[in-house]
A and B are shown apart, each in its own frame.
Chain A
């Protein structure tokens, strides 16, 4: 990177005054937040408040109209952005898992390191098998996504993302499409990751989980961050009426 050298004492993800519109609809109206390395932050808020859009902007799945997003010092809102370099640093897990249905679980995990990072196959396979084990899916290596439950698919998706050795993980409502029984197995996996020091940015509706895992919670509504703080103070003494109303409906 020709840009200013990033050092771990600076925020790993730095979002400053980001504006984003879809046509006439402005979904982000000046959002700023910083994430330090190893931090776990949760973004909560009502539907349509722009939280998913925000994290999709971090790995450039959506572009932004104004403001700045920096990942390890690399500016995302720049002409001629090296998207591939950015996406090697940032992993993402989706609500709908989006596993590749024509590949087995193990192949799903192995494909990107082989094709994108061009790593040797035996090394990749070793790492992939370890990751499948880590997400507690030993024995499911050769199953196709269609043969796995939603929770199992989502854990494969997490392993697939981790196989790229990302520095930051984005989780976009990853449990929202799951059965209540399988939500827990996915949350446990994310908790393990957080405990190992992975930088995680989550959009979630699981308040209990957010309270337990997050270092910092951001509440968004209508395109702005209304309130934020560590979970202890956030849940007990939210100041803004909008936050209080949202929490009273959820909790």
Chain B
């Protein structure tokens, strides 16, 4: 930093009172700034995963050196429960993440398009909704949805029980919706205004301009940040265990209880959860970064 050349008006006192044009960084969706999560994951080396697994398996045995419960016992317990944890637990986490993403994306695209509406009432409302849900703690949103929503709906004589996981999906899709809304708004804002003017001067209606000219140009740029949000969401799905949804963390707790709640199992079992989430998100993150590179070079 000491090597940095002093530039008057930027990092040293200006020598003139004339306006100085400061350097700006334009953040466009799909640029480095908003896919930091994927970038971090993707930058880890491929052997991070086996290394993590090895450390997690060894650590408890060292910590409980005097224990009669051996590493083999712990491994056997984990292997016994593994199909249950993956097929009943993790698969459900994936299911929740995909459903939430689908719901959040549809709602987010609608909200994002509302944000660019020429009608101030619509755009301001959409902006407020976006900012509210983007900046609220996810867990709080989940609890609100959980408690504010009825357990069952009665239509005439028909009573429909709403399962907890449906509420969880709804709760998680709120912050996803808000973030996708921002992705859409940002992507649209990144299209040069000349494109709007060219379309307008060719007598395109606003709808035609948005759907035929603007969105096709920024669609590709929305994909990396969208995938980034998917990875973040997947990592956040264990939150719903707090609502009693039977996903991988809930089931891990149950499995450990069935194994007499031995403390030596805590790290291997929860460590396994970490590993499997990492194994799932790592390729997604690598792909996100690859796509981001591909799409930012163009245009």
Contacts and interface: CB of A to CB of B under 8 A. Distances in A.
Contact of B202 (A96, A102, A146, A164): A164
Interface string B216-244: 11000000000000000000000000000
Given A98-B194, A111-B212, A116 B202 contact: yes
Interface in A81-139: 83-84, 87-88, 90-92, 94, 96, 98-102, 111-112, 115-116
B204 A91 contact: no
A161 B197 contact: no
B33 interface: no
Contact of B197 (A61, A88, A101, A112): A61
B197 A94 contact: yes
A41 B299 CA distance: 35
Given A100-B195, A101-B217, A92 B201 contact: yes
A84 B216 contact: no
Contact of A100 (B201, B205, B213): B213
Contacts of B200: 61, 83, 87
Contacts of A98: 192, 194-195, 197-198
A112 B199 CA distance: 8
Contact of B204 (A116, A146, A157): A116
Contacts of A160: 202
A157 B192 CA distance: 16
Interface in B182-205: 192, 194-195, 197-205
A199 interface: no
Contacts, number: 57
A161 to B, nearest CB: 7
A59 interface: yes
Nearest to B214: A100
A100 B204 contact: no
Interface of B: 192, 194-195, 197-205, 208, 212-213, 216-217, 298-299
B201 A59 contact: yes
For chain A, the bracket of interface size reads 20 to 34
Interface of A: 59, 61, 83-84, 87-88, 90-92, 94, 96, 98-102, 111-112, 115-116, 146, 157, 160-161, 164
Contacts of A111: 202, 212
Main SS at interface, chain A: mixed
A59 B198 CA distance: 11
A146 B195 CA distance: 14
B203 A88 contact: yes
A112 B194 contact: no
Contacts of A101: 217, 299
A153 B188 CA distance: 23
Contacts of A59: 201
B28 to A, nearest CB: 15
Contacts of A61: 197, 200-201
A110 to B, nearest CB: 11
Given A100-B213, A115-B208, A116-B208, A94 B203 contact: no
A90 B200 CA distance: 11
Nearest to B217: A102
A161 B216 contact: no
Contacts of A161: 201-202
Contacts of B299: 101
Nearest to B191: A101
Nearest to A157: B198
A164 B201 CA distance: 11
29 contacts: A59-B201, A61-B197, A61-B201, A83-B200, A83-B203, A84-B203, A87-B200, A87-B203, A90-B201, A91-B201, A92-B201, A94-B198, A96-B192, A98-B194, A98-B197, A99-B198, A100-B198, A102-B217, A112-B202, A112-B204, A115-B204, A115-B208, A115-B212, A116-B204, A116-B208, A157-B198, A160-B202, A161-B201, A164-B202
A36 B204 CA distance: 27
A90 B203 CA distance: 9
User: Which of B195, B201, B213, B299 has the most chain A CB atoms inside 10 A of its CB?
Assistant: B201
A88 B197 CA distance: 14
Please provide the 9 A-B residue pairs with the shortest distance between their CB atoms, ordered closest to farther. A98-B198, A87-B203, A98-B194, A92-B201, A112-B202, A84-B203, A116-B203, A88-B203, A102-B216
A90 B298 CA distance: 32
A61 B197 CA distance: 7
